Structure 1
Amino acid sequence: MTHMRCRHLHSEIRHNVNQRIVEHWRSFLAAHSCQTRQASTAVTRSKKAPNLLGEIDSLEHLRLTKSIARRRIPVHISAKIDKQLPSPTAMTIQSYLQSGSVEAAWKLVDRSIPQLTQHNIPRLTAQLLLESLHTQVHTHLPRLTLDFARLQRLYLNRLEALVNAVRKSQDVFFDPHQVGMVLEMYGKLDQVKRAESLFRNLSHYTASTGPHVDIYNQMMAVYVRRFKYVDDTTKKRYFSKLQTLEQEMIRKGLQPDTSSYNILLAAKIKLHDLQGAEAVYSKMTTPPDRNTYNILLNGFLKDCRTSRDKEITQQWMERLLASGIVPNRKTFNNIMDGLASQAVQRVRTSQGDDLQSIAQSVSSLYRMMLRLGHQPDTEVINTLLKCYTAADDVDRIEEIIALLSLPEKKGCGRDCACASNNASSHNARKPKSKVKPDAYTFNILIKYHLDNNNTELAFQMYDTMVNLQLEPDTITYGNFVWYYADQGNATEALKYVDVMQRKGIPSNNYVYNTLLNYSLKHPTEAHLITPYLYKMVADGSSTLDSISSRIPIARFQYLEKEDIESNFERFTSVLQDLFEASEISSTRAYNTILQTTGKFYKPKHAHGLSMSLASIVASLDTSQLRPDVYTYALGIRNAAYAGDMSRAESLYKDMLDAGIKPNHFVFSHLIYGHVAQGKVDKASKLLLHMENYQLRPTAVHYAPLIKGFAESAQFDKAYELFRDMLANRVNADLVIYTILASVFLESPRGDEGRAIELLEGIEKAGIRMDAASLTLLAKAYALRGSKQRQVVYTQKIDRIYKTLNDNQWLDAKAITTLLTAHHHMKNPDAAWKLWNALKQDQVVLTTLHYNALLASLSTTKAWFPIAKMVFEEMLHNSKMGAPDAHTFDLMIWGAYGVADVETVQKVYQAHTPDNDVLFVRSYYAVMKAMLDCNDLKGAQRVYEECRELPSMPSSTAVWVTKINKLAAHQGFDKSTLTAITPTTTTTTTTTTTT
């Protein structure tokens, strides 16, 4: 009150001073009017005279007269006059504004900011400037993301100049509505702190005698509008400030109105706190309006995940109808937008079975909207496209595109009948009104075409967008960056980043995270991406958000060359970085952790680590998270990998109790887990259980079952299940064909013919074969070729090698299978040719590959010299493949078979007893060879070395018996004969020896 009394006293004093100035000015003009008239008369007469010198003298006299008159006014009074009267600049600005030349007025303001702050700005001029700036910010708001730095700086400088001019003025004040406009602009220009400062010092800007609800609402709206651009932690901090403003209103005797509660509802919806939104609704002291129901329906529809959510959404629909509020276009669009968000969510969680029903619901709402007389606008069109593109509903997409005001497509350029027919049919379907698209419309269509790998249509949409003078923005170029990054083409993706930088279009977190994800997915090309990432963070266009912090977890690579402990240590280090960067505040972040941890649950020898990892995951604070179908699916998967099916079934029950419908992933993991434990019959019942949720089993569900029956030697059931799958019109994929072919090869009947028929039919079914299926086909050819001795199978195996090599699919297993195939067909020549081809291509060869080659070369006398050469290569180049027990066994028995006793001895001498433990049968061959050449001492050394071997399996009983016979015949030490005999054969061996 003291401040207001001072303000009124100051205004009264200023009024008295103004009156005295005016009176003094009037008396001064009366006293000197005579002189002025005489001077004017003299000037007029001089104009008639031809003497120019006289005219110049008269003008000079007039200037002197005015100068004398000006000197007689006191300086402080003259300054007061200058301060009270509008400056010529202010008058010119107002003239521009009244004539509609808004930009010219603002350009003059930009050049005259110091003058405006020094002189009083007329109230009408300030009002016109504020309204025009508000219109500019609102109109060009989409461009703030396009050229944010320049436009934000320009509009912010203008707003600051206007606000400062009003603050320094003694006569110009903002009314509550205008204060709300200023706060709104500060919020849109990302100046929350500046808005808070103005709100705390309202007395400097408004003549209002007390607080106003509308001003509080605008300040609250500033926070809510920024929710779209800030992280979860900042959202929670902003909502705390909203609650403080609400309490302050009540404390000052102001009653929050419906708009106040709507703002709080919107904040709760954006925080995905539906229960909190219901709590805000329950404490409303004013009747809800249309916007209240729009906010709640849109929020509940977007977050509708469970059957309980659907029930609540239906209740809100009924409340809207019971309220008597007639739905308008905004209501319909909010409901359709919520359903469209559900469609997008279904695509993300691979629940495509509901997409068509959602699209049908949106279409029904749209037709109802039209029947009520509401014509579609750009926002409605974008909502429909958002839904139909998620559902991949091509027909409805084309119908919506037909409603857009787009340039006519050029014809074929010829005057043909078909062109006229097409034109007439098009006119028949032409809608009554056209809707002007915006940049968001084209961004939806561009993303849709890129998702379907249709770059031609995507570029057509881009060209149309430019032709309509709609400037491509960050989202437009971000779509292309994502597409080429997803294709593994870093060079092309970075070209669009360069275009953005060249055009002054800032990056955003989406582009940053896309490139970050690529650099971690393709480490060899990270050097191309890293400079761009540094630049985005340095210029402030991108910030590290929750997605950035969880990408390293999602892209964690389990390195096979490292042991599981080293991998686990690296993973926990990355996990620790995530915890330090941000809290686990979103369900998707938690799901990312669950997804990556599966790599440590699956290995059978990782039980201890999986227990530690389970305790880490269990220690995370998930009280604020809403588990979705992915959360349960990943939890069930990890439990199945760890062999804990009791926990998997418990999670499945919790999911059903929460009202979440299981998807295909849930059932595939349950089936996998039961099959892994040998409960194939229980797993097969889940196929029937899927029908209860309108889910049709796919090849992914049949594959583990077929494999499970095969591994349990139930080959007939495996093949019967395959036939049932085909009868149910489930198309077999490559995995199914490969598994079933392996069933035929591993069955007791050894039906390689059916395996060949099945595998050769893969490409006939339009499925491209991979390394696993080609390797299995080579094995089947080898088995058939070993029986029929036909050259054609060798040629087929050579073609498989070429295909594998051309596609860079030659892994260790494929090489071993190809070499072994030639061995089975007793074709060492083909094996040797393949070996030389592999070495010429510099393929990395291991001991396993050398052994596969030696198995083919060491069995014939003609090729044994080559085998000796390969063995010498292994001895002198152990980095390629050091000999192991199998290698020595092949060479010893190969030499023994061709009666090359000398080589037998050399091979035996090449091994070191401390490191190379030979097979028992290898010791027998060496002893027999040495005894054949009368090397008794050498044979006894071999026997003594063999005697030091640990206990042997029962499968070696035959060779143990033969060694004992040789030793007994030569009279070697009999007291230790039974030491090398297996426990299961001790009695038999002793008896035989005696």
Structure 2
Amino acid sequence: MVHMRCQHLHSEVTQTQRLWRALLSTRQSCQTRQVTNLARSTKVSSFLNEIDSMEQQLYQKTMSKRRIPVRVSNSVNKQLSSPVIFSIHSHLQKNEVEQAWKLLDKSITAVTHIPYSTAHMLLQSLYNQVETNLPRLALNFGKLQHLYFTRLETLAGLVRQSNIPLWDKSEFCTVIEIYGRLDQLKRAESIFRNISHYCNSQPTTEHYNSLLSAYVSRFKFMDEVTRKRCLSRLKTLELEMSRKDLMDTNSYNMLLAAQVKSHNLKAAEKIFEKMKSPDRTTFHILLNAHLKNCKNNKDKEITNVWMEKMIQSGIVPNRKTFTYVMDGLAEQVICYARLKEFKDVKSTVQSVLNLNEVMLKLGHKSGTETTNTLLKCFTAANDLEQIEKIISILDLPQKSSGSGGCGNCGCGKKAPVVIEEPKKIKPKVRPDTYTFNMLIKYYLDNKHPNQAFEMYDTMVTLELDPDTVTYGYFIRYYADLGDVEESLKYYHVMQQKGIPSNNHIYNALLNCSLKYPQKANLITPHLRTMLANGTAILDTVSQNILLSRFQQDQDLDTSFERFIDLIDFNTNAPSTRTYNTILQSAGKFYKSAVTSLDDVIRSLDISNVEPDVYTFALSIRNATYQGDMIKTESIFKAMTDAGIRPNMFVFSHLIYGYASIGKMDKAQDILRGMSAAPYNRVPTAINYAPLIKGYAENEEFEKAYALFREMLDKNITADLVIYTILAGVFLNSGNEKRAIELLEGISKAGISTDAASLTVLAEAYGLEGNVAKIDSIYKTLKEKNLLDKKAITTLLKAYANSKNPEGAWKLWNDLKNQNQQLSTYHYNTLLTCLSPETKAWYPVTKLVYEELKQNSFANPDPYTYDLLIWGAYSVSDFDTIRRLWNDVEQNMPKLVRSYYAVMAALVDNRQLDLAKQAYNQYQKLPNPPNSSTVWVEMIETLAKNQDFISL
């Protein structure tokens, strides 16, 4: 009752206050005129206003005290708003939102309560600010996000201090939504659990749905671990709502969206089964999800079933429906493009175009979201014509044209006057940040950085803020090129602008550091910083990068152990993509005949793996590396039984498998049969390549060249791989001149060379003895960042073949200056090149050996000691041979001649016991080849002369 009485008195005081203000305004106008006439001082006017305000507050309290008892007077005073609240309210009424919040920020200690109307306006203004600045929340190190969160906390605190809950159901839902936007899910959950302090009702369906929405809206920003935790939390909320009978269609739709974003379609379908009345949004979510995951004929059938269910439900497609379906098809285009299924790309793009045309005929206009969906499809398909059409309908600033002249050339000539009929102006579509990010990515992927920069400038002109994604594309572009310095410039600009990093940037830089290890020292500190400050974590993509960039060492056992450690890096069951990456990287060990690898692959938990065409293709490839064609055929049958159509890579692996075991006729049959039903795959250069290579490795060079001619006669364009294989055919048949003509010819024809073709060319020039050309190829490899381990080895061999140790030594020092990681194999190749026919380079070999012993990435192996021992023997340096024999330990030499050199050196120094030990080690060698017969006889003679052989 007292509380109601206070409210009534408060109303009476407010009416009295309005009358008092009217009287005061009359007096104020008179005083203002007097002061203006005397001094026109703004300071005096401000001072009088402050006095009037004080008088007004005193009068309010006096009137209330006269009319109500003292015991009630104190309650009334508490309900009366302070001058600060009046000022805040006034600012809000004038739409001076920022001034109102700044005043509240500054005076928070003086404010003890807040009226409903002020609280309502503050909440609405904060919601509008968050929505308007949503793309900018994370900029400037998240200061804006922190500011809005602090203000919301202040407002929530004031509301909680009130004796009466001030927010209604709708406003409380708004509060939950803002917390979600500000990435404060724990706080949203906390305030939801204390709803009675803020809202005048118990939790309803709308309240729960707001909390569900807050969780689901953050899914795309979460890592895999956090997403799983949120799924568990959503399950708890679902059970709670079901127990209270509060679940409605919107609730189920959000749970559906959460499962779809987690790529768990089976769980999504189970949620659908619980729904009593699915609506349009329900089918939109499920249709889009199934279209995105449509990979084979069975998936297409499932997708068609969902389309039929939607039609049977009587839901008429609208623009949103068309957009969802087209977005799902766009995802299919991305998948087909990655698989190089260009026929499927073309047909799916046509389906998208047809759907868009139907949508427009039905009177649905194309908005920003639909336009972005089309752009997503066309950029994936690399359809320049359609991309330009999309750009033409975007509302972009007009480019300035030249003044005078015949155009923009500035020649000064007057352009002829042409009277044009007025054109009908078509409505333009307003682009957003996502639009420009797609265009920037498209231009960068197609190596057109200038057009990407132009899009960036246009984006800024339209006052759209470049975000983490924008800078991430530039960082990845330069990182992939190996231009680490330029890539890090963009990263530093992000830091200066307060734009946070994310896992995509972390993974792009991680990939770069592994791809270009010589520049890893520039990247590693930034990777550590991102992990330390929490802007990135080691996620599934990071693991996939580590697996895909795995480098095999000279020591196969050590490499295999490291590979197993990488597989065990993530304790969770691998996804399809991770499993495929494991299969991809495992190929190195299958080639090396690591028999225990099959056991490791079989031991993996593949419960999360849905085999796709990559899974089967890689499994077939690895089986062919083992030469197990029975297993290969079994995998191929399992793939076709699963409804997955084999692509050109699968047939290429099959052809390679049969060619590698010498069954050339079988390989030829596969090439001929792949174009027939039911496969209907037209052979490409990728399919001809392994067969040509197979003929070359079987020294059937004429058949290899004839197959190449057949391919050209069928109008199949030969790619760089084919030309490189053919050049290898000429090289292996002793015709390095023809190999050089072929590779130089394609380079002049404008075909860009890669590491494989350049190394074959370097090998050919090495056999020809052209040192200048080898130097030029090295320079090209370095400029293109193509200096991998194989390229370095080939260059060293090329200098060795051209008998040019000076060139090899110069290359070696240059590689060390670039911080290249040099392996034991590289050291051995250099020692081979420096192996002295004279004594001139012998001292250098000893320096190389000392350097190798201090190298943390490489160690001497048996072949190292072979080269060093024989080199020392060639110059009669027996002391060095004796020291080398003491260093050998476990790495015993492999060549017979090396043991003769050791025995001769030890006998020369009368170290007969050690000489006998060397002879015993020699006897443990497997049967020596016929080429070493002379050395065998010399060792046996020496052993007999020294009584090492017991008769």
TM-score of the aligned structures, taking structure 1 as reference length: 0.75
Q: Tell me, yes or no, if the aligned pair for 1:775 and 1:814 is still in contact at 8 Å.
A: yes
Shift of 1:215: 1.6
Contact between 1:402 and 1:431, CA under 8 Å: does it hold in 2?
no
Q: Does 1:443 align with 2:437?
A: yes
Residue 911 of structure 2 is matched in structure 1 by none
Shift of 1:918: 6.7
- Counterparts in 2 of 1:424 and 1:517: CA distance versus 1, 3 Å: farther
State the alpha-carbon separation in 2 of the partners of residues 360 and 472 from structure 1.
32
Q: For residue 62 of structure 1, report the CA deviation from its aligned partner.
A: 14
For 2:682, the equivalent position in structure 1 comes to 696
Is 1:570 matched up with 2:551?
Answer: no
Residues 1:79 and 1:623: Cα distance change in structure 2 (over 3 Å)? same
Provide the C-alpha distance between the structure 2 equivalents of 1:710 and 1:395, rounded to a whole number of angstroms.
42
Equivalent residues of 1:699, 1:736 under 8 A apart: yes
2:269 to 278, 283, 290: 278
Helix, strand or coil: the match of 1:611? Answer: coil
Instruction: Supply the AA of the counterpart residue of 1:705.
Output: L
Deviation at 1:151, TM superposition (A): 2.0
What is the CA RMSD across the aligned residues, in angstroms? 4.8
> Shift of the alpha carbon at 1:409?
1.0
- Pick from 249, 261, 276: which aligns with 1:258? 249
Find 1:104's aligned residue among 99, 102, 123: 99
1:656 and 2:640 are equivalent in the alignment: yes
Unaligned 5+ residue runs, structure 2?
Answer: 35-51, 782-786, 816-825, 851-862, 886-891, 905-918
Q: Tell me the CA shift for residue 331 of structure 1.
A: 1.5
- Residue 355 (structure 1) aligns with: 345
- Per-residue deviation, 1:722: 1.5
Summarize the Cα distance change of 1:469–1:820 in structure 2 as closer, same or farther, 3 Å threshold: closer
Contact 2:828 2:867 in 1 (8 A): no
Asked whether 1:145 is paired with 2:135, we answer no
After superposition, give the CA deviation of every residue in 1:589-629 in whole Å (9 maximum; x if it has no partner): 222222222222112xxx3xx33332222222111222222
2:213 aligned partner: 221
Contact kept? 1:737, 1:758, Cα under 8 Å: yes
Residue 322 (structure 1) aligned with residue 306 (structure 2): no
Alignment TM-score, normalising by the size of structure 2:
0.78
Is 1:517 the equivalent of 2:507?
A: no
After superposition, the Cα gap between the structure-2 partners of 1:471 and 1:734, relative to the gap in structure 1 and judged at 3 Å, is closer
Alignment of 1:507 with 2:501, yes or no, is yes
Name the residue aligned to 2:260. 269
Aligned positions of 1:819-898 closer than 5 A: 834-835=804-805, 838=808, 869=839, 879=849
Highest RCO, 1 vs 2 (Cα 8 Å, sep ≥ 6): 2
Aligned-residue offset at 1:773: 5.9
Where 1:730 maps in the other structure, the secondary structure is: coil
Give the whole-Å Cα distance in 1 for the aligned partners of 2:124 and 2:330.
Answer: 36
Match of 1:55 in 2: none
- CA displacement at 1:432 relative to structure 2: 0.7
Taking a change above 3 Å as real, the CA distance of residues 424 and 395 of structure 1, as seen in their structure-2 partners, is: farther
Match of 1:173 among 166, 176, 180: 166
1:159 alignment partner AA: L
**What does 1:705-744 correspond to in 2, within 5 Å?**
705-744=691-730
Where does residue 286 of structure 2 map in the other structure?
296
Match of 1:325, SS state, is coil
Q: Is the 8 A contact 2:613 2:644 kept in 1?
A: yes
Partners of 1:611 and 1:709 in 2: how far apart?
Answer: 28
Q: In the aligned structure 1, how far is the partner of 2:237 from the partner of 2:867?
A: 81
Superposition pairs for residues 86-97 of structure 1, below 5 Å?
86-97=81-92
Asked whether the 8 Å contact 1:509–1:543 carries over to 2, the reply is: yes
Q: Distance in 1 between matches of 2:2 and 2:524?
A: 67
CA change 1:427–1:527 in 2 (3 A) is farther
- Aligned partners of 2:704, 2:56: CA distance in 1, in Å? 117
Distance 1:852 1:479, change over 3 A: closer
**Alignment check: 8 A CA contact 1:888 1:908 kept:** no
Q: Among residues 179, 182, 185, which one is paired with 1:192 in the alignment?
A: 185
Partners of 2:849 and 2:60 in 1: CA distance: 107
- Provide the C-alpha distance between the structure 1 equivalents of 2:685 and 2:468, rounded to a whole number of angstroms: 40
Determine if contact 2:509/2:527 at 8 Å carries over to the other structure.
Answer: yes
* 8 Å CA contact 1:359, 1:388 repeated in 2: yes
CA deviation string 1:487-525 (max 9, x = no partner): 111111111111111111111221122222222333332
Report Cα offsets for 1:38-91 as digits up to 9, x if no partner.
xx9xxx9xx9xxxxxxxxxxx999999999999988764432121122333333
Matching of residues 178-577 of structure 1 within 5 Å:
178-208=171-201, 210-254=202-246, 256-286=247-277, 288-416=278-406, 432-559=426-553, 562-576=554-568
Paired amino acid for 1:459: F
User: How far did 1:238 drift?
Assistant: 2.4
Deviation digits for residues 895-916 of structure 1, max 9, x if unmatched? xxxxxxxx9xx89999999989
Deviates more, 1:304-313 or 1:623-632: 623-632
With over 3 angstroms needed to count, the CA separation of the structure-2 counterparts of 1:597 and 1:92, relative to structure 1, is same
Instruction: Indicate whether 1:647 and 2:631 are aligned.
Output: yes
* Aligned partners of 2:372 and 2:435 also within 8 Å: yes
| SS of corresponding position for 1:285 | coil
Q: Tell me how far apart the structure 2 counterparts of residues 387 and 342 of structure 1 sit (CA, whole Å).
A: 9
Contact 1:480–1:496 (CA under 8 A) maintained in structure 2: yes
What do residues 2-25 of structure 1 show as CA deviations (whole Å, max 9, x unaligned)?
xxxxxxxxxx342256679999x9
The alpha carbon displacement at 1:454 in A equals: 0.9
How far does residue 134 in structure 1 lie from its aligned partner after superposition?
2.0
Which of the numbers 104, 125, 132 marks the counterpart of 1:132?
A: 125
Are the structure 2 counterparts of residues 282 and 708 from structure 1 closer, same or farther at C-alpha, using a change threshold of 3 Å?
Answer: same
Q: CA deviation at 1:696?
A: 3.4
Q: Distance in 2 between matches of 1:757 and 1:66?
A: 102
Shift of 1:884: 6.6
2:612 paired residue among 622, 628, 632: 628
Residue in 2 that maps onto 1:825: none
Distance 2:55 2:696 in 1: 121
**Distance in 1 of aligned mates of 2:420 and 2:550:** 53
8 Å contact 2:799–2:833 — kept in the other structure?
Answer: no
> Which residue of structure 2 aligns with residue 14 of structure 1?
3
> CA 1:201–1:344 in structure 2 vs 1: closer, same or farther (change >3 Å)?
same
How far does residue 107 in structure 1 lie from its aligned partner after superposition? 2.8
Contact residue 648 and residue 681 of structure 2 kept, 8 A? yes
Q: Distance in 1 between matches of 2:476 and 2:149?
A: 33
Amino acid corresponding to residue 484 of structure 1 in structure 2: Y
Q: Which amino acid in structure 2 is aligned with residue 612 of structure 1?
A: S
Per-residue deviation at 1:223? 1.8
Q: Which residue of 2 aligns with 1:669?
A: 653
Amino acid at match of 2:314: G
Alpha-carbon shift at residue 424 of structure 1 (Å): 8.3
Distance 1:882 1:107 in 2: 74
- The alpha carbon displacement at 1:458 in A equals 0.9
Letter in 2 for 1:333: T
Q: Does 1:803 align with 2:787?
A: no
**Distance in 1 (alpha carbons) for counterparts of 2:503 and 2:333:** 24
Q: Which letter does structure 2 place at the counterpart of 1:586? A: S
Q: Return the alpha-carbon distance in structure 1 between the equivalents of residues 681 and 419 of structure 2.
A: 41
Q: For residues 415 and 351 of structure 2, what CA distance do their matches in structure 1 show?
A: 34
* Deviation of the 1:299 alpha carbon: 1.1
**Structure 1 segments unaligned to the other structure (5+ residues):** 1-11, 48-58, 784-792, 822-830, 855-865, 893-902, 927-943, 968-972, 981-994
CA separation of 1:450 and 1:620: change in aligned 2, threshold 3 A: same
